[in-house]
Amino acid sequence: MPNIQETPEFTEWQQVVDILRQATTEHKDDTLLRLLLTPDERSVLLSRVNILHELLNGERSQRKISELLGVGVATITRGSNELKHHDDDIKVWLSTLLKEQSPKS
């Protein structure tokens, strides 16, 4: 009789990060993300990247960001609150990363 495990194989966020890191090393990150995320989830992730970019850029109010991205002000506020949990070094790193990846840069 097969040994059936009673708990999920993957239980930690770090395991997901490690899987994504390995997929990136193998140039399969896009494939993995398409397998893991529905089109709606990918759209939400894109919105979140834009929210962080706009918040770090600091040129628009939360209301203007909400209008620009078509998301609720509460979603912008959650992104803003999450940024508050990180130090300035992380914010500078993320801002630089997003600016480098922006097609408008």
Whether this model's pTM surpasses 0.75: yes
Q: What is the pLDDT of residues 37-90, one digit of tens each?
A: 999 999 999 999 999 999 999 999 999 999 999 999 999 999 999 999 999 999
- pLDDT given for residue 1 in this prediction: 58
Structure tokens at 31: 């494939």
Domains and CATH numbers, the chain: 40-104 (1.10.1270.10)
First and final C-alpha spacing in the chain: 59
Whole-angstrom distance, CA of residue 55 vs CA of residue 58: 5
Q: What are phi and psi of 12, to 5 degrees?
A: -120, 140
Helix (H) or strand (E) run with residue 36 in it: helix 29-36
